[in-house]
């Protein structure tokens, strides 16, 4: 007896996250941290789209010769074909070793040396915090950082694939921080 394909979405993405597409077996070289994780690695509620939707502060080790950094945040546990993109930001100055909490969701970031934020998978520019479906369990959020030999020349309205192509030819070092988040049992009112 033939079975028809299941039309329901997958339990999680089957596609690779960005860092695996750039250097699948690299050793990284950048240590990325945030003070916004609890002892179990859970991202604090204020960063979730269920709550304040504030971008978390990030700190990383410098890379000699970096002209700029790019950060991509993805959720490979999203119930869809590819990881959900929560944040794209590039052209963070090469001398920077941190980002402050609560960056505005604007394409250009003068306060971060002219860094550019791209469009997330919620269709808006900037940070879109964790918002896993209720009852879907714990999701992992991969904060991926790339040290670049040159600043990138495109504006905010590019697809992730364009950024990935640029990163493939320009990455000096990379690193990843994995945070987790689960939908609250009782959703906050909107």
CATH code (residue 164): 3.90.280.10
Domain count, the chain: 1
- How many angstroms separate the CA atoms of 71 and 111, rounded? 16
Domain assignment of residue 131, given as a range? 21-181
Above 70 in pLDDT, residue 3? no
Report residue 134: phi and psi, to 5°: -55, 135
Residue 27 lies in a domain: yes
Residue 2 lies in a domain: no
Q: Quick one: pLDDT band at residue 158, thresholds 50, 70, 90?
A: very high
Give the pTM.
0.87
Lowest mean pLDDT among 11-20, 45-54, 88-97, 154-163: 11-20
CA distances from 53 to 43, 75, 115, 153 (A): 12, 16, 20, 28
Residue 63 lies in a domain: yes
Residue 28's nearest CA partner among 189, 187, 184, 172 is 172
Residue 186 lies in a domain: no
Residue 3 lies in a domain: no
């Amino acid at each position: 007896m033939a079975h028809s394909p299941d039309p329901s979405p997958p339990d999680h993405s089957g596609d690779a996250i960005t860092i695996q597409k750039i250097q699948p077996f690299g050793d990284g070289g950048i240590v990325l941290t945030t003070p916004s994780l609890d002892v179990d690695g859970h991202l604090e509620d204020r960063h979730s789209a269920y709550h304040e939707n504030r971008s978390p502060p990030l700190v990383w080790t410098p890379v000699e010769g970096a002209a700029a950094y790019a950060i991509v945040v993805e959720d490979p546990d999203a119930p869809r074909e590819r990881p959900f993109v929560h944040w794209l930001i590039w052209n963070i100055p090469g001398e920077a070793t941190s980002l402050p909490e609560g960056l505005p969701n604007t394409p250009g970031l003068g306060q971060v040396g002219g860094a550019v934020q791209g469009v997330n998978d919620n269709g808006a520019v900037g940070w879109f915090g964790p918002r896993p479906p209720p009852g879907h369990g714990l999701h992992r959020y991969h904060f991926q950082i790339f040290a670049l030999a040159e600043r990138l020349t495109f504006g905010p309205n590019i697809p992730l694939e364009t950024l990935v192509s640029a990163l493939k030819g320009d990455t000096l070092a990379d690193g990843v921080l994995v945070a987790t988040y689960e939908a609250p049992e009782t959703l906050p009112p909107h």
